[in-house]
Amino acid sequence: MDNIRIAVNGVSFNETAEIYKPHADPFTGPITHLAPWNFAVLATLMFVVTSLSLFENFTVMLATYKFKQLRQPLNYIIVNLSVADFLVSLTGGTISFLTNAKGYFFLGNWACILEGFAVTYFGIVALWSLAVLSFERFFVICRPLGNVRLRGKHAAMGLLFVWTFSFIWTIPPVFGWCSYTVSKIGTTCEPNWYSNNISNHIYIITFFVTCFIMPLGVIIYCYGKLLQKLRKVSHGRLGNAKKPERQVTRMVVVMIVAFMVGWTPYAAFSIIVTACPTIYLDPRLAAAPAFFSKTAAVYNPVIYVFMNKQTQYNLALFSRRNAHQFSDKL
């Protein structure tokens, strides 16, 4: 048992640190000093977020499948974002709901590795998808290659890069370079930010560079160039851009801002913990950024629908068609 020695007014007291530790085995019992209602709140949050995300992202994928006019190169990337968000919720969201409902990670180590890998992998796929979207807007509006246009094969190459590159940098912990481990609250899993091992630190630093700093750099560069064009809107190429293209650009900007709002707190938390692995944080405080990041899967479908008139029209048409079919059966 670890003890903390505290001096108050010259008098020393020993305070047991064990109350701040999770159960000896996170797979067999919950954190002892957290009331059950904490886990009930998290379970409710994950149920709502997961249900909304699965419904919204599935609707976007179904609408794209049903309507050919939505299957444009840009929409390939947006649907890819919906696929990533759908899979984040299907795996990480579902597992997180079940474990919080139980109060600890009762599913065992295999599910911990699955959740840690799935949430990390699909989350990075989503971030790199936004980077590719940014590059696509830069490519279409700024035309760095002249009259060369974005085609389906270019979008497919972008998607292949996103899934392959993200996989390369999220699979190593499964095979021993770093690890996916139970978080401090004991009901979700993540990369082992708290490790003191030099090899693990090298992986984490490399992971941050390739999977956060690089896509963020692409986003900043591309939209920096776009902002320069916006300042010349009266006589630059953007002035001649079609109104739908300008609307799509605004939509992508909002998507990126929403995603960064969801994931930046978790990224900042991870960097702090990696730099100071011995830092003490209340388990609820340490868990907040991770659970907040999972809400990002809900934003993008809403943004895509409300800022895309063509999608609104096709979804309305799809809903009316299904309603008529249902009424005919009655």
pLDDT tens-place string over residues 316-327: 666 666 555 545
Percent of the chain residues topping a pLDDT of 70: 77
Query: What's the whole-number mean pLDDT along residues 237-264?
Result: 71
The DSSP symbol for 295 reads: T
Please list the residues that pair with 11 across neighbouring strands: 8
With beta carbons less than 8 A apart as the criterion, state whether 119 and 92 touch. yes
With beta carbons less than 8 A apart as the criterion, state whether 306 and 312 touch. yes
The DSSP symbol for 4 reads: E
With beta carbons less than 8 A apart as the criterion, state whether 159 and 242 touch. no
Res 124 pLDDT > 80: yes
Res 119 pLDDT > 50: yes
**Distance from C-alpha of 298 to C-alpha of 46, rounded to nearest angstrom:** 11
Q: What's the pTM?
A: 0.82
Instruction: Pick the more confident residue, 290 or 66.
Output: 290
Query: What's the whole-number mean pLDDT along residues 145-170?
Result: 84
Rounded to 5°, the CA angle 71-257-293 comes to: 95
pLDDT computed for residue 96 by the predictor = 94
Query: What's the whole-number mean pLDDT along residues 292-308?
Result: 80
pLDDT computed for residue 245 by the predictor = 62
**Distance from C-alpha of 142 to C-alpha of 136, rounded to nearest angstrom:** 10
Confidence of residue 12 (pLDDT cuts 50, 70, 90): very low
Q: What is the mean pLDDT of the chain?
A: 80
Res 210 pLDDT > 90: yes
Class of domain 33-318: mainly alpha
Rounded to 5°, the CA angle 79-85-90 comes to: 125
**C-alpha closest to that of 95 among 72, 118, 64, 61:** 118
Which of 35-44, 108-117, 251-260 has the lowest average pLDDT?
A: 251-260
pLDDT computed for residue 54 by the predictor = 95
Res 165 pLDDT > 90: yes
Query: What's the whole-number mean pLDDT along residues 5-26?
Result: 45
pLDDT computed for residue 53 by the predictor = 94
Confidence of residue 92 (pLDDT cuts 50, 70, 90): very high
Query: What's the whole-number mean pLDDT along residues 99-123?
Result: 93
Query: What's the whole-number mean pLDDT along residues 170-194?
Result: 92
With beta carbons less than 8 A apart as the criterion, state whether 86 and 58 touch. yes
Res 159 pLDDT > 60: yes
The DSSP symbol for 11 reads: E
pLDDT computed for residue 328 by the predictor = 58
Confidence of residue 146 (pLDDT cuts 50, 70, 90): low
Diameter of the chain measured on Cα atoms: 84
With beta carbons less than 8 A apart as the criterion, state whether 111 and 119 touch. no
SS3 67: coil
Query: What's the whole-number mean pLDDT along residues 153-172?
Result: 92
Task: List, in order, residues 6 or more apart from 202 with CB less than 8 Å away.
Answer: none
pLDDT computed for residue 149 by the predictor = 67
Res 5 pLDDT > 50: no
How crowded is the C-beta side of 51, counted as CA atoms within 13 Å?
A: 7
pLDDT computed for residue 222 by the predictor = 86
**Distance from C-alpha of 167 to C-alpha of 118, rounded to nearest angstrom:** 10
Q: Distance between alpha carbon 115 and the CA centroid of its chain, in Å? A: 13
Cα Rg for the chain, rounded, in angstroms?
Answer: 23
The DSSP symbol for 266 reads: H
